[in-house]
Amino acid sequence: IDNFSSNPASLEHYPMTVRFLISLLIALLCFTSSKADKVSLLPSPETSSVFMSSFATAALLYPLDLLRSLSMTSPGTPVPKLVGDFYKDFGAKGFVSQGLAPEVSRATVMRGVKFALYPRFHRRLFSGRDPHEGTTATKIAAAAATSVPEVLLIMPLEVSKILLTTDKTNKYGNSMIKALSRTSPKKYMTGYLGVQYRQMSWGCGYFSTIGPYRKLVDKVVGGDETSNAALKSLLSGFAAGVTGAVLNTPGDTVRSVVMKRNLVEGVPASFFPVAREIVREKGAGSLYAGFGAKAAHLGGGGALMALFTPMARGWCERRMAGPSV
């Protein structure tokens, strides 16, 4: 904390909302850490490696997330038509730039908070036990608890992402700051229920299954724990990520429609009425609109986090240990 706040003037240029979210994140990290951790909380290898991995994963997976977002805001519309319409509105550049800043920011914070707080919440809630010492029930409980602050932190970024990916007239100039500054803070929580469902269900599915998937992969791939470690991490992380996607896609589809109607079309909409409308008009299967892209995106995210985090942690630990004498 001392390292973070040694130059408080650096925060003066940020809006009050951003400063509040940074303060909330610091408070959560403090609350969920042991006394021994608090002296060097923010620069710890555990926290640093998670956020480094989250940023790399978010940047690599942006095109897949854009495709997922387009599919889910218009359930039932063929993907080729959605892609064609997006290309017509934003050109080829839009696939790697439109809404890039809010998406990378959102996904970095989302995964960073999730993967940093999850083991801390598990230790805090279950007598200091690490997740690998817990049961399926304790892992689900810790993941569910972690999702609440995670969602509160990313809601403004979720709003700006919807606004930018649907901004056909370029009134926001592809700027996250402009999109949020021109939107009432009262709307920052639009779609909260759907986002909460999405984050909680994915986290519960991922963290409760990655261990069993890793054991299965170990048996299939063979060798000891160190052989083919990268491949095993990718496969188990991908399987756990897809499991989370199976659980969270229906609610996320509804959430996407709710946010688009409220924020873009100016039509009041809420979670359960929209869910009933989608099922009634397009069938229950339409709740899985864009599942292919979503499974690839979330499965890929789970795989890359499983691969990058231990690699980044090893690098951080070597850097923080300093040169050997």
Q: Phi and psi for 242 in degrees, rounded to 5? A: -65, -40
What residues have CB less than 8 Å from 66, skipping those under 6 apart? 86, 95, 98, 99, 103, 165
Specify the length of the chain in residues.
325
Maximum Cα–Cα distance for the chain, whole Å? 70
The pLDDT value recorded for residue 129 is 95
Tens-place pLDDT, residues 274-289: 999 999 999 999 999 8
What is the enclosing helix (H) or strand (E) of 213? helix 192-221
Read off the pLDDT of each residue in 66-76 and give the average, rounded to a whole number.
70
pLDDT at position 317 is 84
Contact (CB, 8 A) for 183 and 205: no
Structure tokens at 203: 């986290």
Buried b (16+ CB within 10 A) or exposed e, 125-146: ebeeeebeebeeebbbbbbbbb
Q: What is the pLDDT of residue 98?
A: 62
The model's pTM: 0.79
Alpha carbons within 13 angstroms on the beta-carbon side of residue 251 total 17
The stretch 203-208 carries a mean pLDDT of 97
3-state per-residue secondary structure call for 102-154: HHHHHHHHHHHHHHHHHHHHHHHHCCCCCHHHCCHHHHHHHHHHHHHHHHHHH
Query: By the 8 A CB rule, do 304 and 57 touch?
Result: yes
For residue 67, pLDDT beyond 60? yes
For 223-238, the pLDDT digits (tens) are 777 778 999 999 999 9
**Position 104 pLDDT exceeds 60:** yes
Give the pLDDT of residue 42.
47
pLDDT digits (tens, 9 = 90+) for 300-310: 999 999 999 99
Residue 99's pLDDT is 61
Tens of pLDDT, residue by residue over 17-42, are 566 666 666 666 666 665 544 444 44
